[in-house]
Amino acid sequence: MTSADDTAIRPLDLRRVEIDVGANRPFTSVFVSDAHLALADMRDNDPRKLALAASRGPWFANAARYLEEAVSKALAVGAPLLCAGDIWDFVSRAKLEAARSLFAKAD
């Protein structure tokens, strides 16, 4: 990440990585980390959440798109989607709706 003003949409960074986690046999998963989905609206009636979304949103402008691509990739290869780090920094109704929509196709 170079700056909040860097608005170029980059493709999702997909990498094939083999890690020995002590499993009995190899398995495939799709892993995402630190999406920081930054959404809020007036339904939460919380000026702090609106300010956080406004200030953090530009840094993570592609978060929803990347999460959607990760869900699609996991479904396409029949693999579980593993999420680590922050999917979001605070709870808001807008984020819960986005998560429901993003993950509706997955188990």
Q: 80 in a domain, yes or no?
A: yes
Position 14 scores a pLDDT of: 77
Instruction: Name the more confident of 64 and 2.
Output: 64
Please answer whether residues 1 and 59 qualify as being in contact, where contact means their C-beta atoms are separated by less than 8 angstroms: yes
Question: pTM for the whole thing?
Answer: 0.75
Q: What is the pLDDT of residue 78?
A: 92
Instruction: For residue 85, count other CB atoms closer than 10 A to its CB.
Output: 9
| Residue-level pLDDT at 49 | 92
- Among residues 56, 53, 69, the alpha carbon closest in space to that of 105 is found at 69
The CA distances from residue 68 to 1, 98, 102, in Å, are: 20, 10, 6
Summarize the confidence of residues 83-100 as an average pLDDT. Answer: 87
- Please give the tally of structural domains in the chain: 1
Q: Could you list the residue range(s) of the whole structural domain that residue 87 is in?
A: 37-103
Q: Assess if residue 95 is contained within a domain.
A: yes
Within a domain: residue 43? yes
Is 50 part of any domain?
yes
pLDDT top residue among 87 and 43: 43
Q: Is residue 14 part of a domain?
A: no
32 in any annotated domain = no
